[in-house]
Amino acid sequence: MGATEKKRRREISRVLQDYSFVYQGGTFPLKVSRSAADMLLEYSRPLLDVVKELRTAIALGVFSWNVSLAPADERPKLVEEYIVPTFAENAEIQETVRKLIEVMIERRERYYRDEPVYYVANRRETARADERNA
């Protein structure tokens, strides 16, 4: 393994530390489940090839995964609620991101449909949600 690949793996590891997965009512950091982390990376691979910033690519993968779990008729609204404020300055970028999300939703439905129903969430957001629900 070359120095560039090792550096990339460390960077990916740092980004994944920001995420957890929710499964059967529990919230677990990705570091406790190598298979969950690997699945997220494999799922996000097309984004990693297109989006320059690793953190942005993983976040977009997480968002796409989560949206794919919503009923199909609710997905367009969820996508718009994410895209419009996040990419408000550029309609062209909004359209590109919208298309990427559509591809990623199709990817999850095709290759990950039988995975246990859980979703990947930012640990800080999960902690805030847990505090509100306590």
Report if residue 2 sits inside a domain: no
Query: What is the pTM for the complete model shown?
Result: 0.78
Report if residue 109 sits inside a domain: yes
For 36, the domain range is 12-124
Tell me which H or E stretch contains 20: strand 19-23
Q: Compute the distance between CA of residue 4 and CA of residue 8 in angstroms, rounded to an integer.
A: 6
67-76 residue pLDDT tens: 998 899 999 9
Report if residue 130 sits inside a domain: no
SS3 109: helix
Report if residue 5 sits inside a domain: no
User: What's the total number of domains in the chain?
Assistant: 1
Q: Compute the distance between CA of residue 11 and CA of residue 31 in angstroms, rounded to an integer.
A: 14
Which residue carries 């550029």 as its tokens?
A: 90
**34's tokens:** 């190598």
2-29 residue pLDDT tens: 777 788 778 888 888 777 777 667 777 7
Report if residue 6 sits inside a domain: no
Give the model's confidence band at 130: pLDDT under 50 very low, under 70 low, under 90 confident, else very high. Answer: very low
